[in-house]
Amino acid sequence: MRPPIRLAAITLALPLVLLLAACPRPRAPARIDLGPVSDAPWELEDVDDWQEVRDQLAGLAATDPRRHDLRVQLAAAQADRVGRWLDANRPALAYEALLELARLWTDEPTALAAELAPARDLLTRARGVFAKSGADREVVLTLVLLGEIGPDAAAHDAAWTEIDEVLGFADQLAIAENGAMAVRARPIEILEPVAMALPLRALTDRYVDLVLARQAAVADALAAGSASFELVRAHSDVVSAAHAVAAAL
């Protein structure tokens, strides 16, 4: 649990609210083998069926042995969906599908490494596609997942080194566009959906630290009377991020 004094920094930024007021069907790739599964009466390629089974998974107790099989089936179908969006050259939709895949482990992140490991080739492919299009948030999502399913700590560290590079570059672009007060804005925007999907320690710590530092800086700017249009534009999510931090903690 974060010290209360750090959370207090969030409330200092709330006055900024006043300023803010003024699926295609291409040829499907070969199914990724995510391990043995039990027979199921659903067509998980169908989005409605997939969501129904996902809801059933969410309703099972943490100790229910059926959780593994259901999640493996859901992951296999969703991985296929990600691959189809990549085949169709729809990276934005591939990202949304990949984020939905990651959410399968929201309440059990320790199971992700073993259950998603067979999808390493798909994730590596997705990372390459996203990188070519300069899609920073998409690259970071795939790197977080690749770091978790890596064979050892070195692979995890290498993924986070690359994540830091992507976040640093995104930060510099935001500063160039909106000035020095835009620092941290884009990295927070990139990390938030992933941090909300996967409560991984390294990810949550990085996100929370960025948000709290940003909230304190915005509060200082407001107290000094130096708020500007650039500040508002760069940090328009300052209040929603405060709520997100509370959820992450």
pLDDT digits 0-9 by tens, 207-229:
999 998 888 776 666 666 665 54
Say if residue 19's pLDDT is above 80: no
Q: Is residue 36 part of a domain?
A: no
Which string of DSSP letters, residue by residue, matches 143-208?
A: HHHHHHHSSSHHHHHHHHHHHHHHHHHHHHHHHHHH-GGGTTHHHHHHHHHHHHH---HHHHHHHH
Say if residue 170's pLDDT is above 70: yes
Say how many domains are in the chain. 1
Give the CA radius of gyration of the chain. Answer: 20
- Which residue bears the tokens 């296999």? 76
Q: What confidence tier does 24 reach under pLDDT thresholds 50, 70, 90?
A: very low
Domain that holds residue 213: 4-22+41-248
* Beta carbons of 109 and 198 less than 8 angstroms apart: yes
Mean of pLDDT values over 4-15: 45
Q: Is residue 119 part of a domain?
A: yes
Cβ atoms within 10 A of the Cβ of 65, count?
8
- Give the helix ranges, DSSP H, for 31-135: 47-59, 66-87, 91-102, 112-116, 120-132
Nearest to 103 by CA among 62, 158, 63, 141: 141
Q: Is residue 29 part of a domain?
A: no
Please state, in angstroms and rounded to a whole number, the distance separating the CA atoms of residues 247 and 195. 10
Q: Is residue 181 part of a domain?
A: yes
pLDDT digits 0-9 by tens, 125-134:
999 999 999 9
Q: Is residue 234 part of a domain?
A: yes
Q: Is residue 35 part of a domain?
A: no
